[in-house]
Amino acid sequence: MTSFNGVVHIDTDCGVDDALALAVLGQVAKVASVSTTWGNCSALQAAANARYILQRTKAAQIEVTPAYDDPPTSWAPSHVHGPDGMGGVFHLSPAERSRNGDTAVSAIVRFAERAGKGGRLLAIAPLTNVAAAYRAAPEALHSLDRIVVMASQGLTPRSAWLDETGDTNTRHNPSATAEIAASPLPVTWVGIDVTRHVLLSADAFGESEFGKTLRVLSKRYGASRAPSYGYAADGPGWRVPAHDTVAVTVLLGEGDATTAEALAVVDRSSGTPVLR
């Protein structure tokens, strides 16, 4: 599936579409490490979710390091991902805080310093951790071969759909997104204007026990998005958007998306921040 033979670090707020991306990437690439932040759920909940997915894909040895900074008081877990980011399917308790003092930011910096041009970073979460890592060690992050970010709306005109569903990762932390967009880092942006058109159906998940579990999880998420995306919520025609899995294909060199040169402004004109 991939022409990339290096190592990967994933920064995630492990919700439903993140889980599918982790499951795919954990089986087809050399994932060195994972960090988590708040977004779809809390950073500690995201860490528990990511560890569970990696265990189910026989990649339990991969280290998962959560962020410990608190989200703003205005933040709340996304209703489309449920209170635990996984739609309540797995009933996982949040991870415990690390006792060794390691943080998500230090995990990203350590990965970049070790991997250099042999490493790629996949950011499928608000860019809180990535921006902090860039401030801490800009040269290390710049040395990476590629950074793929699931965020932005390209140059597509604003619409009722965009204002409702929007550029979620930018909306959670627009200043972090703007910081990375203005940086010289080797970033490829995978916009929601691209990923919204990639819809998975029931047969995309296979017939393994874990595939069936992911199908149930994804169907619930897809049903919650159906009214705004315009596809069937149930029955044989149900679909689910493959946002973060599209970013995985770009990371592995199997596709492309808008590059950083075309994106520089966080548009707040409707009150819903979107990177363009």
Alpha carbon separation from 4 to 121, 187, 248 (Å, rounded): 12, 16, 12
Bridge partners, 72 (sequence order)? none
8 A C-beta contact, residue 130 and residue 121: yes
Which runs of consecutive H residues, i.e. helices, occur in 143-271?
Answer: 160-165, 168-172, 174-181, 192-195, 209-229, 243-251
pTM of the entire structure? 0.90
For 7-198+242-275, give the CATH class: alpha beta
Q: 206-256: per-residue pLDDT in tens?
A: 888 888 888 888 887 777 777 766 666 666 678 888 889 999 999 998 655
Element containing residue 52 per DSSP (H, E): helix 43-56
Instruction: Please report, for the chain, the start and end positions of each structural domain, with discontinuous segments joined by +.
Output: 7-198+242-275, 202-240
**Which residue has 């009722």 as its token pair?**
160
pLDDT per residue of the chain (276 residues) written in tens, 0 to 9:
567 789 999 999 999 899 999 999 988 899 999 999 999 999 999 999 999 999 988 888 999 999 988 888 888 777 777 788 888 778 888 888 776 779 999 999 999 999 999 999 999 999 999 999 999 999 999 999 999 999 987 666 666 666 666 678 988 898 999 999 999 999 999 988 788 888 888 888 888 888 888 888 888 777 777 776 666 666 667 888 888 999 999 999 865 555 445 454 556 666 666 655
Confidence (pLDDT) at 161? 65
Confidence (pLDDT) at 160? 67
Confidence (pLDDT) at 260? 46
